[in-house]
Copies of this chain bind each other. A is one copy, B any other.
């Protein structure tokens, strides 16, 4: 599977027995690319689409626990060797995998059926780090195979992918300048 550089999909091992099953979804000692500060649990109705969003600061590490997550990934980092690459990856609760999304990789989550997701972040939520665009902007290059998904008001009124990238770069510059 080809992914934007810095993204990763890890196969998780599910141990089954007559009682049910157990899956280790995260270990500190794994080279997962993230040191989580927070874990969230999200339930989604069928045909919900969350995103598209991109972050300047924080990484996301996510596991679909139940149902199906179609994860769209698009690299908007101008300096990246995989700049412009976009792909979709399907994660399922029936065969668990963990996906890492670094800063600068725009992402959207589509749930074709009722689904649950557990995810961690490397930094606490910050409005400055929440930048988004319309999920169906053709410039993203996603083949969602989705019609009229349920969106949040914010995602419904989001701008273009080009505007998102400009904002991503502007915030990145501000944060870098602030660190100097």
Contact = CB atoms under 8 A, between A and B. Distances in A.
Interface stretch (A23-31, A99-107, A135-143, A166-174): A23-31
A40 interface: yes
A43 B20 contact: yes
Contacts of A23: 40-42
A137 to B, nearest CB: 20
Interface stretch (A44-52, A74-82, A83-91, A157-165): A44-52
B38 A20 contact: no
B40 A22 contact: yes
Interface residues of A, number: 36
Number of copies: 2
Contacts of A50: 19
A14 to B, nearest CB: 9
Nearest to A17: B152
Given A65-B65, A124-B27, A19 B45 contact: yes
B48 A19 contact: yes
Task: Give the top 3 A-B pairs by smallest Cβ distance, nearest first.
Answer: A20-B44, A20-B43, A26-B39
15 contacts: A18-B45, A19-B151, A19-B152, A20-B45, A22-B40, A22-B41, A22-B42, A23-B40, A23-B42, A24-B38, A26-B38, A26-B39, A28-B37, A28-B38, A65-B116
